[in-house]
Amino acid sequence: MTLDTPATDRDWAALVDDDRVRTSMYKDPAIFDAEMEKIFGKTWVWVGHTSEVPDKGSFKTSWVGLQPVIISRDRKGVLHVLVNRCRHRSATVCEIAKGKTSSFQCPYHGWGYALDGSLRGVPYTEGYSADFDKSQMGLKKLKVDVYNGMIFASFDTDVEPLEDFLGNAKVWIDLFMKQGGGFPVKTAGEHQFKFPGNWKIQLENTTDAYHFPVVHKPFLQSLDAEGAEQFDFLEGDGYVEDLGNGHSVMVMMPELVDLEDDLDRDIPERFAALAETLRKDYDEDQVRRIVRAVGGTGFNLNLFPNAACSISFFRILRPVSVTETAIRHIALAMDGGPVAGNQMRLRMHEHFQGPMGFGSPDDAEVWERVQRGADGGPDLDIMVNRGDGLEKTSENGLPVGDVSAETGMRSAYQMWKRMMAQ
Ligand code: FES
Ligand SMILES: [Fe+2]
């Protein structure tokens, strides 16, 4: 098998075994090109959250694989996901992260598009012959669907229904959204960065508890004793469950799976001041719900191929090239909730995810080192066998490993294999 073997002739399945994958998975540009076509060009890809496009005329720019897209809400409130590429000579028609507009106008020759992508205005139309059909020249549209506020898009018009694709992950999305604490969940700003490594290194990481006490020692040392104990979850009762279709959940703190359970439990010391502030405006029950919500859920939900719901934020990956990946860490807040609670969430986000934070910069360092090390020993494999042979079976008939098992990675790579076989 060589790099110039046509994509259709390559034996993609040979790259993935049950317990290991070939190192070329991180490095081969031909594999990357095929992934963009067979995975990001086919399945449901997370593009945004409904709170980012709340009103008629709201829009947000995003990506599906390598392709820039716009999420827009038209004058009837209907959501569209459009390829951000003018149908004339391909300029992007929008370069603003998010906002409100009544239309999109290409900056090159001025073609104007409605919020639903249809082509409305063509300057100096008389230069086109009578058979120029504007109705055929709208922005290319993707299939779009929403589950519990999460907007997904697909280039494949025959893709399976979103709810079927999410399958067993749906109940976990519902649990994750309980961190609104009784208010709707909204996005509240984000940290973005790129790292020089393959996208699957990041996909693996969200379901990797094994690295936590090693890479995140500085984070653990920055917490009070109670917090450090909470994050010392490798010895606890946590688990990783394969949810099918490449999705998985890593439960680090089982007592925080359902944020509305056992609200009578003691409020941790680090939230005592917040609780006191909230008591001025809320009854004790609400105070406890909000405090619990501010702390976030006790699990990471990994949604193949590009999204994660992690404790109290969305982690979205975007493949840029075979050796470059863009990450967005999107903080979440309570829409209409107490200012003090939302502020504390942002401070917690900065504490781990921020550019000077105690968590994400350390993650980025090891991801980069994985990519660098992969330049050595091409005959060696990437091992994802931790917990293999020790797993139990879930109610859904799928593997469940202990919290540090590489069950979620095996799930993602098996989905990778299935999709690449198409
Ligand atoms: S490229 Fe958009 S109008 Fe020409
Ligand atoms: Fe990490």
Residue located nearest, by CA, to atom 4 of ligand 1: 109
CA distances from 316 to 48, 63, 293, 341 (A): 9, 10, 21, 24
CATH topology of domain 168-420: Naphthalene 1,2-dioxygenase Alpha Subunit; Chain A, domain 1 (3.90.380)
Residue located nearest, by CA, to atom 3 of ligand 1: 109
Written as one letter, the residue type at 106 is C
Pocket of ligand 1 contains residue 107 by CB under 6 Å: no
Pocket of ligand 1 contains residue 111 by CB under 6 Å: yes
Pocket of ligand 1 contains residue 234 by CB under 6 Å: no
CB–CB of 324/283 below 8 Å?
Answer: no
Residue 8: per-residue pLDDT = 60
Tens place of pLDDT for every residue, the chain, 422 residues?
444 555 566 899 999 999 999 999 999 999 999 999 999 999 999 999 999 999 999 999 999 999 999 999 999 999 999 999 999 999 999 999 999 999 999 999 999 999 999 999 999 999 999 999 999 999 999 999 999 999 999 999 999 999 999 999 999 999 999 999 999 999 998 999 999 999 999 999 999 999 999 999 999 999 999 888 889 899 899 999 999 999 999 999 999 999 999 999 999 999 999 999 999 999 999 999 999 999 999 999 999 999 999 999 999 999 999 999 999 999 999 999 999 999 999 999 999 999 899 999 999 999 999 999 999 998 999 999 999 999 999 999 999 999 999 999 999 999 999 999 98
Residue 422: per-residue pLDDT = 85
For the chain, the farthest-separated pair of C-alpha atoms sits apart, in whole angstroms, at 75
If one residue of 85, 89, 134 were mutated to test the ligand 1 pocket, choosing by the most ligand atoms within 8 A of its CB, it would be: 89
CATH topology of domain 45-154: Rieske Iron-sulfur Protein (2.102.10)
Listed by start position, the domains of the chain span: 45-154, 168-420
DSSP at 25: G
Plot region of 389 (φ>0 → left; ψ -120 to 50 → alpha; else → beta): left
CA distances from 404 to 196, 230, 387, 409 (A): 25, 16, 8, 11
Residue 1: per-residue pLDDT = 42
Written as one letter, the residue type at 375 is D
Residue located nearest, by CA, to atom 1 of ligand 1: 89
Pocket of ligand 1 contains residue 220 by CB under 6 Å: no
Ligand 1 atom at minimum distance from 93 CA:
2
If one residue of 105, 111, 132, 140 were mutated to test the ligand 1 pocket, choosing by the most ligand atoms within 8 A of its CB, it would be: 111
CB within 8 Å of 349: residues ≥ 6 apart: 189, 191, 312, 313, 329, 331
Pocket of ligand 1 contains residue 132 by CB under 6 Å: no
Q: How far is the CA of 211 from the centre of ligand 2 (A)?
A: 7
CA distances from 331 to 271, 294, 302 (A): 18, 11, 16
